[in-house]
Amino acid sequence: MTTGTTKRRNRGGVPRALASSLAATTKSIFGKRGFADGAILRDWAMIAGEHLAAHSQPEKIAYSKGVDSGSLHLRIDSGAMATEMQHLQPLLIERINGYFGFKAIDRVKIIQGPLPARDIKQAWSPRALEAKEESGLAESLMDIDDDDLRKALQTLGRAVIGRSGD
């Protein structure tokens, strides 16, 4: 027989950001390739620079026993870029280690071959506003004295209104 009080069990806890759940899920996958959390993959363009990132992709980081730093296996899509990368290797190692804040990489092993296809997103631009929408926006901003602020808000307003009509 039960007493009159029942405890409600909170199964899910508080809501969490999806990114925190994904980090736990992907940790084992990235770990098999030597990427602790995938940060080097996610931020590769920022670490390596746009030009190098467009022609390369980290494959894995291999660690030898008893050594704290590893070898980055880097796939590069052209022979010319591979040659350039040999000259840029010390700079790239410095940038990677600076990104992580410790000596994570001590050398780069270049693998030449095609890169996987990447999704290229088209740049979004808002539709042109109708005359009524444009005048309504201008009217709502006419009390703002600061020209720079008014122009910034007008650009933002055009983007919001132009997007909502799709």
Cα-based angle 96, 47, 59 (whole degrees, multiple of 5): 70
Q: pLDDT tens, 83-141? A: 999 999 999 999 988 888 888 889 999 999 998 877 666 666 778 889 999 999 999 99
Q: pLDDT tens, 35-61? A: 555 678 888 889 888 899 899 999 888
Q: What is the pTM of this model?
A: 0.51
First to last CA, the chain: 60
Q: Which residues contact 81 (CB under 8 A, 6 or more apart)?
A: 52, 55, 56
Give the integer Cα–Cα distance in Å for 150 and 154: 6
Give the integer Cα–Cα distance in Å for 116 and 12: 37
